[in-house]
Structure 1
Amino acid sequence: MEEIKKEISSYWTGRSEDFARLREEELNSEMAELWLRELKKGLPEGETLRILDVGTGCGFFSVLLAKLGHQVTGIDLTPAMIEKAKMIADERDVQADFEVMDAEHPDFPDGTFDVIVSRNLTWTLPHPAEAYGEWLRVLKDGGVILNFDADYGKEDLLGELERLPEEHAHNHMSCGQLEECDKIKKQLMINGMSRPSWDVEILKHLGCAEVTVDPDVYQRIYREENSPFYNPMPVFGLRVIK
């Protein structure tokens, strides 16, 4: 594994306990329904879709989509996150598969999935263009990618704390974790790009049939500032058709 990926995995291992707690709280809040609406809007027709949740973390999207009856596989680079995802799914009696796997190198045959979903992942990837190419490889012709992300590389975590609500997750991170995250971001080329225009350019270059940007996702999802789930960054949505 590349050194930067070891750093990334180590960082998320350190955050896995608090991250899992927050995802469980999110699943029990109105956020689950808000995100489910966003996902449903972008999904293609089909009662049972085969879905890959890339960078699943603790399985938030996987649980939501599996509860709809879809066949979901969640992958993540960090073993601790996958263990938490399995635990959360089991607690909710949800059937989903979870595997430790590199998002840039999904180990599946060509054309395996109808849909690929992702949330807050692309900004953490050392080789995002390569990742997009691999996601398209494992996606069926006419399949859909739903990628929700933000320009997190422009965010100064230590500098942002004062304007965040007390309950916000970043206020429960140690200074060391905040500094580690900022250090990682500076090493990733994607965080020097203008997004999501960079993503659109790459996806069109890769030959996608259609790329649509929704810049207003964050206005529909993050309406309450006094919330532990509040995100001050303008989250966008990308809907891509292969």
Structure 2
Amino acid sequence: MTVRPISLVLGTVLLAGLCCSAFAQSSTGQDSGDRMTHSMQSDGSHDAMFMRKAAAANMAEIQAGRIALDKSSNAQVKQLAQRIIDDHTKAGDQLTSIAQRKQVSLPTEPMPMQKQEADHLKSLSGSAFDKAYAQAMVKDHRKAIKLFGMESASGSDPDLKQFASTTLPALKTHLQMAEQLPGGSGMHHDTMDHHGATPMDDSGSMGMPASGSSTH
């Protein structure tokens, strides 16, 4: 073989090696970028999920409060219901404002399970209603406190972390008031997990056993 053909062969091999190296580097960079994008999307989707769950729960809580105002003759029940309506209306407005800034679409009504819970409350009356509402509020607010506590501690969005933190005191007040109602204290141990709060169900509902209300 002459010198010229050998040079051509070596040049071709060298060029192919450079191309493979460049492709590998490009692929590695793309994989790294994909992982970073996925991580960012995961963080964002976590916050978006929190907003949607909180919005649906908030509407359900207000709905249950209105049912209580209409059906109950117990002054303590009515006091709690009005407090919940006022606080959750305020929290709902704040959440809507944040969601609009983040361009996140929120649900316009409670979840189907929460609607069923509200229908159950509507079917009750007298002391049976008061007891069911109290138990519902206790269970609901323990779940809500856990949800908002997790967002406050580990959320990735500063606005949502602050919203969760500032809403938690009202949720805890609602829980304390509900526990003082007839039937409310009976939920103290059997609905709590080892951390003092009931975990959310598979549907993401923060809703209540007999009420359509979930919280903030």
Q: TM-score normalised to the size of structure 2?
A: 0.32
Indicate the structure with greater helix content: 2
Structure with greater Cα Rg: 2
TM-score (norm 1): 0.29
